[in-house]
Chain A
Amino acid sequence: MAIETLFIANRGEIAVRIIRAAQSLGIKTVQAYSEADAEMLAVRLADEAVCVGPAPAAKSYLNISAVVAAAKDAGADAVHPGYGFLAENADFARAVEDAGMIFVGPKPETIERMGDKVAARIAAKEAGVPTVPGSDGRITADEALSVADEIGYPVMIKAAAGGGGRGIRIAQDAAELARLAPQARAEAEAAFGDGGLYLEKVIVNPRHIEVQILGDGTGAAVHCYERECSLQRRRQKVWEEAPAFGLPDATREAMCNAAVALAEAVNYRGAGTIEYLYDAVADEFYFIEMNTRIQVEHPVTEMITGLDLVAMMLRIAGGETLPVTQDQITCTGHAIEVRLNAEDPLMQFLPFPGKVASLSIPEGNGLRFDHFLYEGYQIPPFYDSLLGKMIVHAPTREAAIDLMAETLKDLEIGGLKTTTPLHLALAADPGVRAGDFHTQWLEPWLDAGNLTSTDAA
Chain B
Amino acid sequence: MTDIVSPLPGTFYHKPDPNSAPFKSAGDAVAVGDTIGLIEVMKTFIEVKAEAAGTFSDYVAADATPVSAGDVLAKMG
Judging by beta carbons under 8 Å apart, are B42 and A353 in contact?
yes
Judging by beta carbons under 8 Å apart, are B8 and A382 in contact?
no
> Does A443 sit at the interface, judged by CB under 8 A?
no
> Does B10 sit at the interface, judged by CB under 8 A?
yes
Contacts of A343 in B (CB 8 A): 42
> Does A451 sit at the interface, judged by CB under 8 A?
no
Contacts of B9 in A (CB 8 A): 353, 380-381
Judging by beta carbons under 8 Å apart, are A385 and B43 in contact?
yes
Judging by beta carbons under 8 Å apart, are B42 and A55 in contact?
no
Judging by beta carbons under 8 Å apart, are B42 and A36 in contact?
no
Contacts of A56 in B (CB 8 A): 11, 64, 66
Judging by beta carbons under 8 Å apart, are A382 and B66 in contact?
yes
Distance to closest chain A CB from B47 (angstroms): 12
Contacts of A380 in B (CB 8 A): 9
> Does A229 sit at the interface, judged by CB under 8 A?
no
> Does A351 sit at the interface, judged by CB under 8 A?
yes
Q: Contact string, B27-71, partner A, CB cutoff 8 A, digits 1/0?
A: 000000000000011111010000000000000000010100000
**A353 and B69 alpha carbons, distance in the complex (Å):** 10
Q: Which residue of B lies closest to A57 (CB)?
A: B43
**A38 and B52 alpha carbons, distance in the complex (Å):** 38
Distance to closest chain B CB from A296 (angstroms): 15
Contacts of A385 in B (CB 8 A): 42-43
Q: Which residue of A lies closest to B43 (CB)?
A: A384
Contacts of B40 in A (CB 8 A): 381
Number of A-B residue pairs, CB cutoff 8 Å, is: 39
Distance to closest chain A CB from B65 (angstroms): 9
- A351's partner among B11, B41, B64 (CB-CB below 8 A) is B41
Distance to closest chain A CB from B6 (angstroms): 10
Contacts of B66 in A (CB 8 A): 36, 55-56, 382
Distance to closest chain A CB from B61 (angstroms): 14
- B11's partner among A342, A382, A384 (CB-CB below 8 A) is A382
Q: Which residue of B lies closest to A378 (CB)?
A: B9
Judging by beta carbons under 8 Å apart, are B11 and A353 in contact?
no
Interface size on B, residues (CB 8 A): 12
**A382 and B39 alpha carbons, distance in the complex (Å):** 10
Interface residues of A in 344-403 (CB under 8 A from B): 350-351, 353, 380-385
Contacts of A384 in B (CB 8 A): 42-43
Distance to closest chain B CB from A153 (angstroms): 37
Contacts of A342 in B (CB 8 A): 42
**A342 and B41 alpha carbons, distance in the complex (Å):** 11
Contacts of B11 in A (CB 8 A): 55-56, 381-382
Judging by beta carbons under 8 Å apart, are B41 and A353 in contact?
yes
Distance to closest chain B CB from A340 (angstroms): 13
Interface centre among A342, A351, A380, A385 (most CB of B within 10 A): A351
Contacts of A353 in B (CB 8 A): 8-10, 41-42
Q: Which residue of A lies closest to B8 (CB)?
A: A381
**A380 and B8 alpha carbons, distance in the complex (Å):** 11
Distance to closest chain A CB from B5 (angstroms): 15
**A383 and B66 alpha carbons, distance in the complex (Å):** 12
Q: Which residue of B lies closest to A351 (CB)?
A: B42
**A342 and B9 alpha carbons, distance in the complex (Å):** 13
Distance to closest chain B CB from A64 (angstroms): 21
Contacts of A383 in B (CB 8 A): 42-43
Q: Contact string, B1-23, partner A, CB cutoff 8 A, digits 1/0?
A: 00000001111000000000000
A-B CB contact pairs (8 Å), 27 listed: A36-B66, A55-B11, A55-B66, A56-B64, A56-B66, A342-B42, A343-B42, A350-B44, A350-B46, A351-B8, A351-B42, A351-B43, A351-B44, A351-B46, A353-B9, A353-B10, A353-B41, A380-B9, A381-B11, A381-B41, A381-B42, A382-B11, A382-B42, A382-B66, A384-B42, A384-B43, A385-B43
Using CB atoms and an 8 Å cutoff, list the residues of chain A in contact with chain B: 36, 55-56, 342-343, 350-351, 353, 380-385
Using CB atoms and an 8 Å cutoff, list the residues of chain B in contact with chain A: 8-11, 40-44, 46, 64, 66
Going nearest first, the 5 A-B pairs with the smallest beta carbon separation are A351-B42, A385-B42, A381-B9, A381-B10, A381-B41
Apart from A56-B66, A353-B10, A383-B43, 7 more pairs, CB < 8 Å: A350-B46, A351-B46, A353-B41, A381-B40, A382-B66, A383-B42, A385-B42
